[in-house]
Chain A
């Protein structure tokens, strides 16, 4: 081994195949990381400021604009927070429809990531377009799966990006039973594709890298979590949604327009498909559990590269759950639950495709928003992503630079980071003199 000090620099100016804009800089000397920055230069977007002075009813439409990939998640967390203020319980078919809409978003978002953004890394392609030349069949199937998710969101929500049909208390209008039934065939096909996708990604080679993560996700008494549940972790967190701030804190770092998060008194944590899967495996459908057992990897998965499996398994779950809802759906008497507006503070936390998404609003007696706070999943994962790189980069530093760079990028894409989302939340406590 050479005695001379050796400096290596990995520099990725624009991370590709992530949603939004970020960059990575790693400087290592003699195999030790000296400097590591996952830079988020996505412009700050001040959403929490814009929400002040708006009507409560506008929150689902305004917050949807935070992210074109997971607008339903923003709408869901927003309406749950408002309903907590007004004491509204959304039950029965309306609750089921929300779950169905959310399944649609999971399907389109996960299919996008598994197939178009992440799989090319494992097989050595620059993009899904290149991958399609050699693997046309699976790409075509993946696109069909993605379209099924989009069709579901479009049918219930009005359109796949920034749906218009979600409101506090329920929906503006609800589908008829017979119209929803048209999805049965499509969802059965989608479910079969998803199972095939799990088996396919299960054959990938995963870098040898495991970490002792703190996984954080929602946990519901009888369901795989989407809209409701307690916030739990494998290291002892078990809190109600409104206690979010007792367990987690945010902090600002110079190189990022997104706030970072950590568990109070501890450190980084992971949210998203891998966390949900590890904490809620027993809530998956039998088909989803069975296909996981077939793969033979032991649970919990502590290798972040295996998040692609968790995402594929959630595709199976989302298709089956959507099928269950479509088959049992009965049209509700009215599209939304009536309520009376009152002043208060409410919290909402739902499982976005990328992990828990927390909203808190304070509204006055007229329903005007006085304060808003939003913590998106990718912002919560950023600290963990940097930690992963800090531990993973030394393993790859000796490889040719292009390969090392690619593997580090892949380690970031494990989180399916939605950087657009994360950067919208440099928190602003503004307008104090208002």
Chain B
């Protein structure tokens, strides 16, 4: 629990990832020194050589689980952590690495590597919650640093973080951004995607590509039918659902539906 004399100990863990979500912590430049005043950065290898032993009050976990070593390590991290937060699309949905889950990775490693025996990898890249209990998830590819700040701040005050689960459409409407799907016929995942980016892509006049994963009550097939009426071929609808949150159930449902229908078409 926060409070008391001792500053809560914060740890940052990296699994299979691009480092971008943990970088968000360092990107909180103007708040960084204030945060350091309130929490002890106990384990954050990207920033410090010095490490403090666990247990940790709050662990931020970045990345998917994609190797046998990681599958073991995450259990240890769980044991050492009072409050474990999965941060980013890799940690919450397997991220882009989960694209391998739709193919046979083992086979292509074996066939092609000069030395496949050097390579240790799991057949599927999975979110953290598939291995251990996760106390909270911050979505996004990358996460929003404002949501990260809200999370840390909420933790310090012993309250629930306020993170919206409605769609990007709500953000567009609030911001007064003209709908790119309706006005320009641009395929946009906004209706099925969770808010958090402040409607970034539509603001820049492109369609949302789903960085924050499925919103609370998505209907990916209905949106798919809307894309069909725009003339988007099934292969492109599959690509739309299959990027950085491809393995999140709703997006997976969307891509697999079109995979099945297009394979029937070839039968």
Contact = CB atoms under 8 A, between A and B. Distances in A.
A359 B52 CA distance: 40
B206 interface: yes
B24 interface: yes
B103 to A, nearest CB: 8
B239 interface: yes
A250 to B, nearest CB: 11
Interface residues of A, number: 69
Nearest to B100: A46
B18 A17 contact: no
Contact of B206 (A49, A164, A428): A164
A58 B33 contact: no
A143 interface: yes
A110 to B, nearest CB: 14
A144 interface: yes
Contacts of B19: 19-20, 67-69, 418, 420
A330 B213 CA distance: 37
Contacts of B209: 61, 164
A252 interface: yes
B113 A252 contact: yes
Nearest to A46: B100
A279 B267 CA distance: 59
Given A68-B23, A129-B36, A16 B49 contact: yes
Contacts of B29: 143-144, 146-147, 150
A171 B88 CA distance: 26
Nearest to A42: B16
A62 B24 CA distance: 19
B113 A172 contact: no
A162 B210 CA distance: 13
Contacts of B95: 65
Interface residues of B, number: 61
B192 to A, nearest CB: 18
A61 B243 contact: yes
B20 A158 contact: no
Interface in A1-58: 14-21, 41, 43-47, 49-50, 54-55, 58
B141 A17 contact: no
A126 B119 contact: no
Interface stretch (B149-157, B196-204, B215-223): B196-204
A162 B115 contact: no
A116 B99 contact: no
User: Looking at B16, B41, B70, which has the most chain A CB atoms within 10 Å of its CB?
Assistant: B16
Contacts of A130: 48, 50
A164 B204 CA distance: 8
B105 interface: yes
Contact of A112 (B20, B26, B239): B26
A351 interface: no
B142 A172 contact: no
A160 B146 CA distance: 13
Given A68-B18, A420-B19, A162 B49 contact: no
B121 interface: yes
Contacts of B45: 14-17
Nearest to A423: B16
B96 interface: yes
B27 interface: yes
A165 B111 CA distance: 38
B105 A46 contact: yes
30 contacts: A17-B45, A43-B15, A43-B66, A45-B16, A46-B105, A47-B96, A49-B100, A49-B108, A50-B100, A58-B243, A61-B209, A65-B20, A65-B95, A65-B141, A67-B18, A67-B19, A68-B23, A68-B142, A116-B47, A128-B48, A129-B36, A147-B29, A161-B23, A164-B206, A172-B201, A172-B206, A252-B113, A252-B114, A252-B115, A430-B111
Interface of B: 14-24, 26-27, 29-30, 32-33, 36, 41, 45-50, 66-67, 69-70, 95-97, 99-100, 103, 105, 108-109, 111-115, 118-119, 121, 141-142, 197, 200-201, 203-206, 209, 211, 236, 239, 243-244
Given A49-B108, A65-B18, A117-B47, 19 more contacts: A47-B96, A49-B100, A68-B142, A112-B26, A127-B48, A129-B47, A129-B48, A132-B33, A144-B29, A159-B197, A162-B142, A173-B204, A254-B115, A257-B119, A420-B18, A428-B109, A428-B112, A430-B111, A432-B112
